[in-house]
Amino acid sequence: MTDNRMGNQDDLVRRLVQSLDREIPAATEERLDLWLKRAAAAGTPRRRRLILSLTTVAVLALLVLSLGPLRSWRREAAGLPRPPAPSGEVKMEVELRNKNIKIIWFRKEGFNLRKG
Amino acid sequence: MRELEAVALNDMRKENVIALVRDKWLSLLKGRAIARDEFARLAQPFKRPLYNLVAKSLNFSEDAEDVYQEVMMRGFKYLHSLRDRESFRQWIFSIAHNEIKRYYRRRGRDSSTPFDEALAVPPAGNPQLVGEIYRIASRLKPSQREVFFLFYQSEFSIREIHEITGLGEGNVKYILNQARNRIRLVLGGKT
């Protein structure tokens, strides 16, 4: 059989085969559309993994940031010296110019005045 | 003062994290809608050809609807793995091939649904000839029948059929030639 005749026969068979084309049943289409909507709302497995990992990272980051202030408290509990308190409000300044001396009074933050 | 700065910095970090998470969530939600729309757009021209390939490869079995549905579901699920959107047609037909193969594997060997001749009546043309061709196709093995319909129904080339099914090009040609020889006998007296 020559290529040309084979091609003609193929074209004829194609036409005959395709003359019997079926429509997709409407119920199948509806079911599929519904499934697609639900699947899109739920996300693909890759998206679900992405969302899960993102949420985990966010929760861990927030946890670490929230627990930050507890660090100094833990230092005290462990008997470690507290870091020096920052200087507080400046109360008074006296300058002895002739002796090249400057005296500054300030109250340290949290200093107990009634101590002793 | 340093403590105040530290607290402010901590709050800023928290706000940044919250903003980042919020933005990511929004983009993910938007991404879902885009994925569904994109799949619907890509699949639209191939829905009917896919359904017909599946139905004909399964000898018009009622299970064709389930297999077709499974093809579309898998297509949506794994669309992200398709890098080149231009090759969507071949890709989705490869999924159809896998699902047809899986269907026959589940049902066991030579478990084709018997061909119902009443189903092979075209609305117009030559019903007798069409019936003969579908009868010939129904007698092929499931894998051969699929090759037959990939060529005559879906109009894939031999090379494309080789890529979709994994069968060697020589094997595809052999299957088609066998079908041609049978068809020629039928056509010989009727065309």
Give residue A8's pLDDT.
80
Lowest mean pLDDT across A110-114, B139-143, B167-171: A110-114
Give residue A54's pLDDT.
83
Give residue B167's pLDDT.
93
Q: Which residues of B touch A61 (CB under 8 A)?
A: 17
Looking at mean pLDDT, say which of A45-49, A89-93, B6-10 comes out highest: A89-93
Q: Is the pLDDT of residue A90 over 80?
A: no
Q: What percent of chain B has pLDDT over 70?
A: 76
Give residue B98's pLDDT.
95
CA-CA-CA-CA torsion for B33, B38, B44, B46, nearest 10 degrees?
-130
DSSP string covering chain B: -HHHHHHHHHHHHHHHHHHHHHHHHHHHHHHHHHHHHHHHHHHGGGHHHHHHHHHHHTTT-TTHHHHHHHHHHHHHHTGGG---GGGHHHHHHHHHHHHHHHHHHHH-TT-PPPP-GGG---SSS-HHHHHHHHHHHHTS-HHHHHHHHHHHTS---HHHHHHHH---HHHHHHHHHHHHHHHHHHHHHH-
* Positive or negative: CA dihedral B181, B60, B57, A15: positive
- B153 reaches A (C-beta below 8 A): yes
Q: Do residue B10 and residue A45 have CB atoms under 8 angstroms apart?
A: no
Q: Do residue B80 and residue A44 have CB atoms under 8 angstroms apart?
A: yes
Q: What mean pLDDT is predicted for residues B85-114? A: 86
Mean of the per-residue pLDDT values of chain B: 83
Task: Please tell me which residue, A43 or B93, carries the higher pLDDT value.
Answer: B93
Contact, B120 vs B130, CB < 8 A? yes
Q: Is the pLDDT of residue A10 over 70?
A: yes
In single-letter form, the type of residue at position B122 comes to: P
Give residue A83's pLDDT.
63
- A26 reaches B (C-beta below 8 A): no
Q: What mean pLDDT is predicted for residues B107-134? A: 72
Rounded to a whole number, what is the distance in Å from the CA of B104 to chain A's nearest CA?
21
**Secondary structure, 3-state, chain A:** CCHHHHHHHHHHHHHHHHCCCCCCCHHHHHHHHHHHHHHHHHCCHHHHHHHHHHHHHHHHHHHHHHHCCHHHHHHHHCCCCCCCCCCCCEEEEEEECCCCEEEEEECCCCCCCCCC
Say what angle helices A26-42 and B64-77 make with each other, to 10 degrees: 30
Q: What mean pLDDT is predicted for residues A97-113? A: 79
CA distance B136 to A17: 11
CA distance B94 to A16: 24
Contact, A108 vs A85, CB < 8 A? yes
- A32 reaches B (C-beta below 8 A): yes
Q: Is the pLDDT of residue B157 over 70?
A: yes
Give residue B175's pLDDT.
93
Task: Please tell me which residue, B10 or A15, carries the higher pLDDT value.
Answer: A15
- For an interface test with A, the pick among B28, B30, B150, B157 (most A C-beta atoms closer than 10 Å) comes out as B28
For A69, the closest chain B residue by CA position comes to B7
Neighbours of A86 (CB within 10 A): 12
Confidence band (pLDDT; 50, 70, 90) for B56?
very high
Give residue B147's pLDDT.
94
ipTM exceeding the 0.95 mark: no
- A58 reaches B (C-beta below 8 A): yes
- A34 reaches B (C-beta below 8 A): no
Q: Which residues of A touch B191 (CB under 8 A)?
A: 12
- A60 reaches B (C-beta below 8 A): no
Q: Is the pLDDT of residue B18 over 80?
A: no
Q: Which residues of B touch A50 (CB under 8 A)?
A: 28
Lowest mean pLDDT across B66-70, B84-88, B166-170: B84-88
Tell me: the pLDDT tens digits for A11-70? Answer: 889 998 998 888 999 999 999 988 888 877 776 666 677 778 888 888 888 888 877 666
